[in-house]
């Protein structure tokens, strides 16, 4: 998947807040999405500012004491035993941000960067990071000005937090590095701040470390991926229903009493969606007689509730983990309300890395089942009367043969992306940081996998819609007919061969925007 950071964020979904108040309690996923993708304004709650000031007072009380405090009066990582003189403590924080802004590769997407910044601000609002209210306000001001730092893709190991990505975000607060404005225009940060009426911040003791030592990059990727996967799974259910219908399958296996014998919540939900989508279908009614239907459908038709439902259950678990992380205060050291600065390991990304990898497995499995249904549509030996490759004149025309090739290539890519990153590790910082989560890598490959799944489902949608067309004079169910009609407003129906790539792109966009489920629910006449 190629990054597209120059594009403005998509419009807000219905009901998204225009203003998000940060702290001291956790943000909701909807609030994160509103800021990341819809440009909602950010305000710091008065109570959050009180907590921030309280935490800062602890830092200022401890900074000049003789005992060592990691990252304040000591160096970082393997340099934790190196003492830092009081007059160098502020310089250390500036150097942390500059030295840790060591990323490489293409810039990551705007919504990810904005989500990271908001989530780090939310952690600051707990008071446990010890930053000044001035610094927290500066982060909010940067978000509200629509200035998004350029953050390279590679650099985080998902332990000691997402250090490099967050450092690139923090550079913009100093008036250093590069940002994009609301229109996506690249600018030097210093001039962009000046034009927005903002003043660069000079970090004080502990603040450089507090800006970078969190899991907000991984959490941002998880929250955005969860939203996108939810839309794609809704589309996957409807597209699968269209395939069942067009391939003259049966909905008997989706009966509620049968599904209740194995009561996984996701499977029950998917089965209900399939039944609703197929309700009132003349195509389904045409072969309900046992004499004209096979005893059992193939797994890719009959087992949709099991596979799609398991994907939904995995997504629910991932959201549970995300909710816990939203309620967390991630830093090292953390400020505690008994006036101490204490070292922790809470910046380790394992909880997030594991569920990000789980979702990549889920995506690959849903995609693989979609590809198997597509293959059945195109094979005249198994499509129950449809022309080979759904071609207008098989032989003269190749129909959607090569669309399947593209889908198959994407499925193999998703299988490679499903290999967990979190089972790997690589020691760094002179063996001080000797086990890392690689959760950032898990999140980045999941984002690419979701893009591939949208295209895979889009191709199945193209194929299923054409198969339904070719079942005429029989007509589909009202719900599936509504989806086909919405698609036909952008993609023409069967006919002689024509370039397929634009139709694949249109169908993938249709799926990515959640329009299969929306069209099925609207059921226009």
70 pLDDT exceeds 80? no
Three-state DSSP at 44 gives: strand
User: Sorting pLDDT into bands at 50, 70 and 90, what band is 502?
Assistant: very high
Q: What average pLDDT score do residues 419-445 get? A: 87
7 pLDDT exceeds 50? no
With contact defined as beta carbons under 8 Å apart, do 381 and 426 qualify? no
Catalytic residues: 70
Q: What is the chain's mean pLDDT, rounded?
A: 92
What fold characterizes domain 222-522?
Fumarase C; Chain A, domain 2 (1.20.200)
Distance from C-alpha of 75 to C-alpha of 93, rounded to nearest angstrom: 10
Three-state SS letters, 268-332: HHHHHHHHHHHCCCHHHHCCCCHHHCCCCCCHHHHCHHHHHHHHHHHHHHHHHHHHHHHCCCCCC
With contact defined as beta carbons under 8 Å apart, do 164 and 100 qualify? yes
> Which of the pair, 290 or 493, is modelled with greater confidence?
493
DSSP annotation of 156? -
Alpha helix (H) ranges present in 388-438? 401-417
335 closest CA partner among 210, 215, 211: 210
Q: What are residue 336's DSSP bridge partners?
A: 340
Sheet containing 186-188: which strands, arranged edge to edge? Answer: 148-149, 178-180, 186-188
At 3 the pLDDT is 38
Report the first-to-last Cα separation within the chain, whole angstroms.
38
22 pLDDT exceeds 50? yes
Distance from C-alpha of 461 to C-alpha of 117, rounded to nearest angstrom: 37
* Contacts of residue 43, Cβ cutoff 8 Å, sequence gap at least 6: 19, 20, 21, 22, 140
* Contacts of residue 505, Cβ cutoff 8 Å, sequence gap at least 6: 458
Which of 3.40.140.10, 1.10.275.10, 3.90.1150.10, 1.10.1240.10 is the CATH number of 19-214? 1.10.275.10
* Contacts of residue 412, Cβ cutoff 8 Å, sequence gap at least 6: none
User: Sorting pLDDT into bands at 50, 70 and 90, what band is 453?
Assistant: very high
Cα separations (Å) of 471 from 27, 89, 384? 49, 75, 10
Structure tokens given for 413: 């890519």
> Which of the pair, 199 or 74, is modelled with greater confidence?
199
Q: What are residue 340's DSSP bridge partners?
A: 336
Q: What average pLDDT score do residues 292-310 get? A: 89
User: Sorting pLDDT into bands at 50, 70 and 90, what band is 45?
Assistant: very high
4 pLDDT exceeds 80? no
Q: What average pLDDT score do residues 470-488 get? A: 98
Provide φ and ψ at 333, rounded to 5°.
-75, 165
At 79 the pLDDT is 75
User: Sorting pLDDT into bands at 50, 70 and 90, what band is 511?
Assistant: very high
Q: Which helix (H) or strand (E) holds 465?
A: helix 439-470
The domains of the chain are located at: 19-214, 222-522
Q: What average pLDDT score do residues 293-309 get? A: 91
Distance from C-alpha of 178 to C-alpha of 160, rounded to nearest angstrom: 24
At 413 the pLDDT is 98
User: Sorting pLDDT into bands at 50, 70 and 90, what band is 438?
Assistant: confident
With contact defined as beta carbons under 8 Å apart, do 142 and 172 qualify? yes
Distance from C-alpha of 48 to C-alpha of 22, rounded to nearest angstrom: 7
Q: Are strands 178-180 and 148-149 parallel, antiparallel or unpaired?
A: antiparallel
With contact defined as beta carbons under 8 Å apart, do 286 and 238 qualify? no
280 pLDDT exceeds 60? yes
């Amino acid at each position: 998947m190629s990054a597209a950071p120059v594009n403005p964020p998509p419009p807000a979904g219905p009901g998204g807040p225009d203003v998000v108040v940060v702290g001291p309690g956790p943000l909701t996923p909807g609030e994160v999405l509103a800021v990341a993708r819809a440009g909602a304004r950010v305000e710091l709650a008065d109570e959050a500012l009180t907590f921030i000031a309280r935490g800062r007072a602890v830092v200022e009380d401890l900074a000049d004491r003789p005992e060592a405090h990691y990252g304040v009066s000591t160096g970082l990582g393997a340099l934790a035993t190196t003492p830092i003189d009081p007059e160098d403590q502020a310089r250390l924080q500036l150097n942390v941000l500059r030295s840790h802004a060591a990323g490489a590769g293409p810039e990551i997407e705007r919504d990810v960067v904005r989500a990271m910044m908001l989530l780090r601000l939310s952690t600051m609002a707990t008071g446990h990071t010890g930053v000044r209210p001035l610094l927290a306000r500066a982060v909010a001001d940067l978000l509200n000005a629509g200035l998004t730092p350029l953050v390279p893709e590679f650099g985080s190991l998902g332990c000691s937090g997402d250090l490099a990505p967050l450092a690139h975000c923090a550079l913009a607060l100093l008036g250093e590095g590069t940002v994009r404005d609301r229109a996506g225009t690249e600018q030097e940060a210093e001039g962009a701040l000046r034009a927005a009426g903002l003043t660069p911040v000079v970090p004080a003791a502990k603040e450089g470390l507090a800006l970078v030592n969190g899991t907000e990059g991984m959490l941002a990727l998880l929250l955005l991926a969860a939203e996108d996967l939810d839309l794609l799974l809704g589309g996957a259910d409807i597209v699968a229903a269209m395939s069942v219908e067009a391939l003259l399958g049966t909905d008997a296996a989706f009966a509620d009493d049968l599904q209740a014998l194995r009561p996984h919540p996701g499977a029950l939900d998917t089965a209900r969606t399939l039944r609703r989508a197929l309700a009132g279908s003349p195509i389904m009614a045409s072969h309900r007689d046992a004499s004209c239907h096979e005893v059992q459908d193939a797994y890719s038709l009959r087992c949709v509730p099991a596979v799609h439902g398991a994907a939904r259950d995995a997504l629910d678990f991932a959201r549970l983990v995300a909710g816990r992380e939203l309620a967390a205060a991630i830093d090292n050291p953390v400020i505690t309300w008994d006036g101490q600065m204490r070292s922790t390991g809470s910046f380790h990304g394992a909880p997030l890395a594991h569920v990000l990898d789980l979702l990549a497995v889920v995506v690959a499995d849903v995609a693989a089942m979609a590809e198997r249904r597509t293959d059945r549509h195109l094979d005249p030996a198994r499509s129950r009367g449809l022309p080979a490759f759904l071609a207008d004149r098989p032989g003269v025309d190749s129909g959607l043969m090569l669309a399947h090739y593209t889908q198959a290539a994407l499925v193999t890519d998703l299988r490679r992306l499903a290999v967990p990153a979190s089972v790997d590790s690589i020691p760094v910082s002179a063996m001080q940081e000797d086990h890392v989560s690689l959760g950032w890598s898990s999140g980045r490959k999941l984002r690419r996998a979701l893009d591939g799944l949208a295209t895979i489902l889009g191709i199945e949608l193209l194929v299923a819609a054409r198969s339904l067309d070719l079942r005429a004079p029989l007509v589909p169910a009202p719900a599936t007919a509504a989806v086909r009609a919405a698609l036909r407003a952008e993609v023409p129906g069967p006919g002689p061969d024509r370039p397929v790539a634009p139709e694949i792109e249109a169908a993938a966009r249709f799926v990515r925007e959640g329009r299969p489920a929306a069209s099925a629910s609207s059921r226009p006449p």
